[in-house]
Structure 1
């Protein structure tokens, strides 16, 4: 049974996946922002390519076109929060996308061939890979002369060849479809499996949200979140990159001027309350941030909203506090058809089973789940990476 599962290669997980949206390394942040607002993707891949000479094989084509990073709305938001940029966001957006990739760590993006094994893919993820870039087999893309593209033109294919990428979520979802092979391990508690990470990022509810900018950037790299806690360590909510990715770049104004608690209300379901919008504008005036004030005033006058839908699985999950209900606003009307989770923290308990936590994370499209005690104090966090380590060990035992 284990051999059958391990016989799968990454191409089996690519079936039906769309080609990734890409930008050249020479593009500006404004180019990336425009593409993010019009695309169904939350991340844009960044490439270095040479398109002005002949290639004789796909292998050589791959060596000439490489994905060197990925950009999302959170990268842009954190960049705009910097002191030099918050006063003049228009100028900041003219910077090259390369400045957004300086905080990343090597190995987050990995090129692999379609024949790469599932086990090899799991090993890469455990060692820090977040996205595996895989060429899509398409006979029509094989050509000896590469097409010329404008220097900053966004494209769903690179160098005449299309690519997709696999995420940690894709691999965990695939393993969940064969969860019966991992009995009884999948039924063990996350505490007994030792996958609760007690080193996590926090900010006090009353602290300025600006103090969390570095933590937000770090949580994006680590694919976790920032816990918002009270003085007793009780989980009030979170500032999550997964939620911020569905917001607009002008959230930078809210992060700069609000407390962590007010920021949660600002990005919560249903869009920012009018009184908090006015508070942001007043504080931008007080700090003489005229450039951001002008941008924010235009933005806040026409914030789009999502539909107010909730699912039964959301209502059944434990929640540390009473949170606001309603649909959460997004940055573009093109996102209205998406399935987007609420801004509240997704939580479990030390005694929760591994399979239950997997289902929670996948249902809410996040790569982590907070672990709390009965009094809602934070114990730690469980990540996809830790789950995959458990499955990797189980597969090794099955193959012995």
Structure 2
């Protein structure tokens, strides 16, 4: 029965998880940018507030706490603010704290002995990442990691668990929940009718607030026409694979053109020309020169190859370049179009589809492609939480 899952602890879900790369809360936005470009392992980097001034004996976990996380979307949205568009280089000198959400509880420390049920409860209460202590790497491996952000805090390493990790774990035991997983998401009542959407022809810059909010909610922004038909999406899960130059695209393009820009493989040349032309019209053409300087700084402070360091970079060739190789980035297995399902889709089918495409949600559409809602991992976890509770 599903009740046997109650015996599992958080530690069971941490097996094989890599240690968290971290950044000090005293770092700058530029430091965060360089750190995000340094490896292909993860699109997020944890931010820590640590006090290492006390003696080793006095140190404890409370003195070294993960206070949040940042990704490239945070930086892009930050650079899109009107006052930061004037000088991106100056904006990047700001403390990394300007990127952290003011919403409390997005990141929670938990012990390895915490139960699966406790982990699910924390996620349903709003936690996006659970920070869990793990067995430290050997000293030799730690030495090999000197070129990347630190993973050590008071002699300990940590990993974090996400909604996706928990959903994957539950899917591995999906038969224990029969027949619930075969029911439709409509029957289960887990379709959320409130979602973020923008018109296809609206300026992409007008969507910057909902892009930030969708990142916070781990969802996406639907791009629709005047009839409510789903044309595509502006997804943080795709935007996270871009570099800082995407802020120039958001500033100048329509929502529809931004979708083309975000298409994997990089934007079409005509889109790049449109961006440069509109930057010039707004007297912002020098933005790309600043981005070239920023990119040189970030690359110099990352683990890029010597060939990359010595290759000339122009604003035109840099535009739209992803900060990670598409062959190494797990997120890049996604197709560019929005992932959809129907009200009659079964819970297990939706779980499999979302996990396969590395997203935390699916758009729910009718036969005419009009959007009726969205179904998220949080919605799914609520179903499993109720089943597990009934087994107590």
**Would you say 1:292 and 2:308 are equivalent positions?**
no
The match for 1:122 is 120
TM-score after normalising by structure 1: 0.87
Tell me if structure 2 keeps the 8 A contact 1:28–1:95: yes
Query: Counterpart of 1:336?
Result: 327
- Residue 230 of structure 1 is aligned with which of 225, 228, 232? 225
Which structure carries more relative contact order (alpha carbon 8 Å, separation 6+)?
Answer: 2
2:275 is the counterpart of 1:280: yes
Three-state SS of the structure 2 residue aligned to 1:56 is helix
2:77 matches 1:78: yes
Q: CA deviation at 1:279?
A: 0.5
Q: Is the 8 A contact 1:169 1:367 kept in 2?
A: yes
Matches within 5 A, 1:8-19: 8-19=8-19
Going from structure 1 to structure 2, the CA distance change for 1:295 and 1:275 (only over 3 Å counts) comes to farther
Which residues of structure 1 form unaligned runs of 5+?
142-149, 305-328
Task: State how far apart, in whole Å, the 2-side matches of 1:56 and 1:3 are.
Answer: 42
By how many angstroms is 1:271 displaced? 1.1
1:112 aligns with 2:113: no
Alignment partners' CA distance in 2, 1:139 and 1:269: 35
Corresponding residue for residue 313 of structure 1: none
Q: Which residue of 2 aligns with 1:69?
A: 68
Query: Which 5+ residue runs of structure 2 have no aligned equivalent?
Result: 140-145, 293-313
Structure 1 pair 299/168, CA: closer, same or farther in 2 (3 Å)? farther
> Which of 158, 163, 186 matches 1:163?
158
Q: Which residue of 1 aligns with 2:311?
A: none
CA contact (8 A) 1:107 1:128 kept: yes
* Shift in Å, 1:171: 0.3
Q: Give me the TM-score of the superposition, normalised by structure 2.
A: 0.88
- The worse-fitting range, judged by mean Cα deviation, of 109-118 and 269-278 is 269-278
Whether contact under 8 Å (2:66, 2:107) holds in the other structure is yes
> Shift of residue 343 of structure 1?
2.1
Alignment check: 8 A CA contact 2:19 2:158 kept: yes
The count of aligned residue pairs is: 361
Distance in 2 between the 1:100 and 1:74 partners?
10
Specify the SS of the correspondent of 2:75: helix
Indicate which of 371, 374, 379 corresponds to 1:386.
Answer: 379
Q: CA deviation at 1:138?
A: 3.7
Work out the CA distance in 1 between the residues paired with 2:74 and 2:181.
Answer: 35
Matches within 5 A, 1:1-400: 1-39=1-39, 40-56=41-57, 61-101=60-100, 103-138=101-136, 154-295=149-290, 298-302=314-318, 330-333=322-325, 336-339=327-330, 340=332, 341-399=334-392
Rate the CA distance shift 1:202–1:139 in 2: closer, same or farther, 3 A: closer
Alpha-carbon separation, structure 1, partners of 2:319 and 2:205: 22
- Larger displacement relative to structure 2 (264-273 or 221-230): 264-273
Mapped partners of 1:88, 1:291: distance in 2: 9
Conserved 8 A contact 2:204-2:254: yes
